[in-house]
């Protein structure tokens, strides 16, 4: 008897899933035990490049989520509210759910996984983070023996594509974003990607699995890449760094037991670092655990086939588990977190900084900047003056590790000095 699948959404990822399920040759034998029974779409009569019988299409998505004949609901419509309601409906009707929807899981994970636990069903989310990279399964299962120390990654392909092009071409953010939109690499509304919100959704999910607590999205400090200029890229390049948008989740150095440091922001990454060589739309996640040490998973973070690969892997896992033991939940596939993580404020975090200042080219400016930082307990690694013209100079400062609030207080005071024209960029930095 085949397991019956109800597919909600037949767009980029939905079509990829249907294509895999309709073309089983050479793939996992369990695909032979699955059948797409109903498909929820907006326009049933629209011509499509997947060979599904017309009579299984419907615009009534609720009917699929509540259909007693369906075993697994695969939610691929995107968005938040409607998708959340459909997922909850499916769970409440005793169906297992597979979704690629990071926005829903990051916002409503607590409600969804609580309901799933009560109903004894699986909610599988491999495709929600980094598309085709099996990072969810790694954290839930393969790395289960480890105490995870940190999870750090390039989890948004759009921003990595833009930053890679800025590095390669020396171009500025806006024109490269416009071209990325024309080429289909960036959405017409790029906000979620370029402002770091998509990465924050993904980090909430990864950190929750890595550290065993729920994460409130609003607790994640989030900064995007709009302020990065070609000048900063050139400075970074000269100093042996590349600028990447990173998601970071780690235990704090000072109060390891009590707080989680979780954020998304641009970082100057030394060219020798594993994440520095991740280019274009590729994603990568570096996980550090005890006893395993460090490992990096990299690959396609989006796209029809890559994301569908993760969705179908989840379906296979559900089917395999149901075949082996239909009545007991496999604990390595579920999510049982009860408490919310205590998250460290960005002001308390410890960072190294790169800061670029535009100043009047006059004696004593560098000394005054150094003094201000010193008065706020910020030690400097280097301070270099460049690009002198029209009586103005650009100064690039790199600090040693310092508390973010001390750095910000120093910077506020420096900004008030007469010789300071502007402070266009501040970027946190990874130690070389
Ligand atoms: N595209 C990717 O590379 C990628 C990667 C990882 C995760 N995801 C996630 O996968 C999900 C799907 O993304 P996608 O790229 O396939 O989006 P998409 O826009 O290509 O497809 C969504 C489909 O759902 C349909 N749909 C939406 N609301 C509907 C409704 N109320 N009734 C019927 N049909 C409806 C749309 O018409 C569309 O065909 C999203 O949650 C997204 O975040 C996508
Ligand atoms: N918009 C996402 C892809 C889906 O997660 C990205 O650019 O990585």
Give tens-digit pLDDT for 98-115.
999 999 999 999 999 999
What pLDDT score was predicted for residue 184?
Answer: 87
Report the alpha-carbon distance of residue 121 to residue 67 in Å, rounded: 15
pLDDT at 218: 96
Domain 3-132+304-324 has CATH 3.40.50.720: yes
Which residue's alpha carbon is nearest to atom 43 within ligand 1? 101
How confident is the model over 88-103, as a mean pLDDT? Answer: 98
In this predicted structure, the answer to whether residue 327 has a pLDDT above a threshold of 90 is no
Neighbours of 342 (CB within 10 A): 13
Residue in 4, 202, 386, 412 annotated catalytic = 202
Confirm or reject: Cβ of 158 under 6 Å from ligand 2: yes
Strand partners, 394: 358, 386
Topology (CATH) of 136-300 = Dihydrodipicolinate Reductase; domain 2 (3.30.360)
pLDDT at 326 over 90: no
Q: What is the number of other CB atoms lying within 10 angstroms of the CB of residue 364?
A: 10
Outline which parts of the chain fall under CATH 3.30.70.260: 348-429
Whether residue 53 has pLDDT greater than 60: yes
Q: What is the pLDDT of residues 219-270, one digit of tens each?
A: 999 999 999 999 999 999 999 999 999 999 998 866 455 799 999 999 999 9
Per-residue pLDDT, averaged over 403-407, amounts to 97
Which CB contacts under 8 angstroms, 24+ apart, belong to 386-391?
A: 386/235, 387/231, 388/361, 391/360, 391/361
Indicate the average pLDDT of the chain.
95
Q: Is pLDDT above 70 for 72?
A: yes
Rounded distance between C-alpha atoms, residue 427 and residue 411, angstroms: 13
Pocket flag, ligand 2, residue 157 (CB < 6 Å): yes
pLDDT of residue 329: 80
Is pLDDT at 96 greater than 60 in this prediction? yes
Query: Quick one: pLDDT at residue 331?
Result: 83
Please say if the pLDDT value at position 15 is more than 60. Answer: yes
Of ligand 2's listed atoms, the one at least distance from the Cα of 186 is: 7
pLDDT at 254: 61
Q: Where in the chain is the domain with CATH 3.40.50.720?
A: 3-132+304-324
Nearest protein Cα to ligand 1, atom 29: 77
pLDDT digits (tens, 9 = 90+) for 133-175: 999 999 999 999 999 999 999 999 999 999 999 999 999 999 9
Structure tokens at 320: 């395999």
Gap between the Cα atoms of 146 and 155, Å rounded: 22
Predicted local distance difference test score (pLDDT) of residue 257: 57
Residue 151's pLDDT is 98
What is the number of the ligand 2 atom nearest to the C-alpha of 102? 5
User: Is residue 333 pLDDT above 60, yes or no?
Assistant: yes
Q: Please state whether 360 falls in left (phi above 0), alpha (psi between -120 and 50) or beta.
A: beta
Q: In CATH, which superfamily holds the domain spanning 348-429?
A: ACT domain (3.30.70.260)
Domain with CATH 3.30.360.10 in the chain: 136-300
Give me Rg for the CA atoms of the chain.
24
CA-104 nearest atom, ligand 1:
41
Residue of the nearest CA to atom 5 in ligand 2?
Answer: 302
- The response to whether residue 63 sits with its C-beta less than 6 Å from ligand 1 reads no
């Amino acid at each position: 008897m085949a397991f019956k699948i109800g597919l909600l959404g037949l767009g980029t990822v939905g079509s990829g899933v249907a294509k895999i399920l309709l073309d089983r040759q050479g793939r996992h034998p369990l695909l032979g035990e699955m059948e797409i029974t109903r498909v929820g779409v907006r326009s049933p009569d629209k011509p499509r490049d997947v060979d599904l019988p017309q009579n299984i299409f419907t615009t009534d998505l609720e009917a699929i989520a509540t259909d007693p004949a369906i075993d697994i609901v695969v939610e691929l419509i995107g968005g938040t509210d409607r998708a959340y309601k459909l997922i909850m409906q499916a769970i409440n009707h005793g169906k297992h759910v597979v979704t690629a929807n990071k926005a829903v899981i990051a916002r409503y994970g607590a409600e969804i996984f609580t309901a799933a636990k009560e109903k004894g069903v699986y909610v599988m989310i491999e495709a929600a983070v980094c598309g085709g990279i099996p990072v969810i399964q790694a954290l839930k299962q393969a790395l289960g023996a480890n105490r995870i120390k940190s999870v750090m990654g390039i989890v948004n392909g759009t921003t990595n594509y833009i930053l890679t092009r800025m590095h390669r071409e020396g171009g500025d953010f806006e024109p490269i974003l416009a071209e990325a939109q024309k080429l289909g690499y960036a959405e017409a509304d790029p906000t979620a990607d370029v402002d770091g919100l998509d990465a924050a959704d993904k980090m909430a999910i990864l950190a929750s699995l890595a550290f065993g607590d729920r994460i409130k999205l609003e607790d994640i400090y989030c900064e995007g890449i709009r302020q990065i200029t070609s000048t900063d890229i050139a400075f970074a390049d000269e100093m042996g760094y590349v600028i990447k948008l990173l998601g970071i989740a780690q235990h704090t150095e000072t109060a390891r037991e009590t707080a989680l440091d979780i954020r998304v922001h641009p970082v100057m990454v030394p060219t020798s670092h594993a994440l520095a060589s991740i280019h274009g739309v590729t994603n990568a996640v570096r996980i550090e655990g005890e006893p395993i040490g460090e490992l990096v998973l990299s690959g396609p973070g989006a796209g029809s086939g890559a994301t569908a690969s993760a969705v179908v892997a989840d379906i296979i896992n559900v089917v395999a588990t149901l075949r082996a033991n239909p009545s007991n939940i496999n604990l390595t596939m579920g999510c049982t977190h009860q408490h919310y993580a205590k998250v460290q404020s960005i002001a308390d975090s410890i960072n190294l900084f790169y800061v670029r200042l535009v100043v009047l080219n006059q004696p004593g400016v560098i000394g005054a900047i150094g003094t201000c930082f010193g008065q706020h307990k910020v030690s400097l690694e280097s301070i270099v003056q460049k690009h002198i013209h029209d009586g103005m100079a650009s100064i690039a400062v790199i600090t040693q590790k310092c508390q973010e609030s001390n750095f910000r207080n120093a910077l506020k005071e420096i900004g008030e000095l007469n010789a300071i024209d502007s402070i266009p960029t501040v970027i946190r930095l990874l130690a070389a």
